[in-house]
Amino acid sequence: MSITLRNVRKDYDAQTDVLEDISVKVETGEFFVIVGPSGCGKSTLLRMIAGLTPITAGEVSIDDKVVNDLPPKARKLTMVFQNYALFPFMSVWDNVAFGLKARKMDQSDIKQRVDKALKMVNLTELGKRKPRELSGGQRQRVALARAVASDAKICLMDEPLSNLDAQLRIKMRQEIYALQRKLGLTLIYVTHDQVEAMTMADHIMVLNDKHVQQIGTPSEIYQNPANDFVAKFFGTPQINILSAKRSKTDHHVLNVSSDLEIALDQEVPAEDVKIGIRPDDMKAEAADSIESNAVVKNTEFLGDETIVYATLNSGENIHVVVPGQVNYRIYQPIKVSADSNLMFFDAKGDRLNISKEAYVHA
Partner 1 sequence: MLKSPAQSTPTTPLSVEKTKNKLKAQEAHFSLNAKDKYFAWIFLGPSLLILGVFIFYPMFRTLYLSLFLTNTVGKATVFVGLSNYINLLTSADYISSVGVTLFYVFAVTIITIALGLLLANLASKRLPGIGIFRTLFSATMGVSVSVAAIFWLFIFNPSTGFLSLISTWMHLPQIPWLTNPTAAMWAVIITTVWMNLGFTFLILLGAMSSVPTTLYEAANIEGASSRFQFFHITVPSISPTLFFVSIITLIESFKSFGLIDLMTKGGPTNATNMLVYRIYKDAFYSGNYAQASAESIILTIIIAAFTYLQFKVLEKRVNY
107 contacts partner 1 (rule: CB under 8 A): no
Q: Which residue stretch of 81-89, 183-191, 325-333, 353-361 sits at the interface with partner 1 (rule: CB under 8 A)?
A: 81-89
Helix (H, G, I), strand (E, B) or coil at 104: coil
Q: Which residue stretch of 23-31, 76-84, 181-189, 238-246 sits at the interface with partner 1 (rule: CB under 8 A)?
A: 76-84
The residue type of 196 is E
* CA 250 to centroid of chain Cα atoms: 39
4 contacts partner 1 (rule: CB under 8 A): no
Helix (H, G, I), strand (E, B) or coil at 336: strand
83 contacts partner 1 (rule: CB under 8 A): yes
Q: Residues 116-155: x/- map of binding to partner 1 (CB under 8 A)?
A: ------------------------------x---x-----
HEC profile of 124-169: HHHCCCCHHHCCHHHHHHHHHHHHHHCCCCEEEEECCCCCCCHHHH
CA 204 – CA 33 distance, rounded (Å) = 5
Q: Which is nearer to partner 1, 44 or 213 (CB)?
A: 44
Q: Which is nearer to partner 1, 73 or 348 (CB)?
A: 73
CA 66 – CA 194 distance, rounded (Å) = 31
Tell me: cis bond preceding 72? Omega within 30 of 0 counts.
no
Q: Which is nearer to partner 1, 53 or 247 (CB)?
A: 53
The residue type of 155 is C
Among 93, 98, 222, 229, the residue binding partner 1 under the rule CB under 8 A is 98
89 contacts partner 1 (rule: CB under 8 A): yes
Least CB distance to partner 1 at residue 80 (A): 9
Least CB distance to partner 1 at residue 82 (A): 8
Helix (H, G, I), strand (E, B) or coil at 115: helix
The residue type of 101 is K
Least CB distance to partner 1 at residue 14 (A): 17
Least CB distance to partner 1 at residue 28 (A): 20
List the helix and strand counts (H, then E) for the chain. Answer: 8, 21
- Which parts of 55-74 interact with partner 1 (CB under 8 A)? 71-73
Helix (H, G, I), strand (E, B) or coil at 170: helix
CA 54 – CA 17 distance, rounded (Å) = 14
Q: Which residue stretch of 88-96, 227-235, 272-280, 338-346 sits at the interface with partner 1 (rule: CB under 8 A)?
A: 88-96
102 contacts partner 1 (rule: CB under 8 A): yes
Among 3, 48, 50, 221, the residue binding partner 1 under the rule CB under 8 A is 50
Q: Which is nearer to partner 1, 110 or 338 (CB)?
A: 110
CA 186 – CA 1 distance, rounded (Å) = 7
- Residue partners of 4: CB distance under 8 A and separation at least 6: 24, 25, 26, 59, 60, 61, 62, 64
Q: Which residue stretch of 9-17, 97-105, 231-239, 316-324 sits at the interface with partner 1 (rule: CB under 8 A)?
A: 97-105
Among 5, 35, 77, 360, the residue binding partner 1 under the rule CB under 8 A is 77
Q: Which is nearer to partner 1, 78 or 293 (CB)?
A: 78
DSSP 280: G
Nearest partner of 193 among 222, 221, 161, judged by Cα: 161
- The size of the interface with partner 1 (CB under 8 A), counted in residues, is 23
Q: Under the rule (CB under 8 A), what is the footprint of partner 1?
A: 50-52, 71-73, 77-79, 81, 83, 85, 87-90, 98-99, 101-103, 146, 150
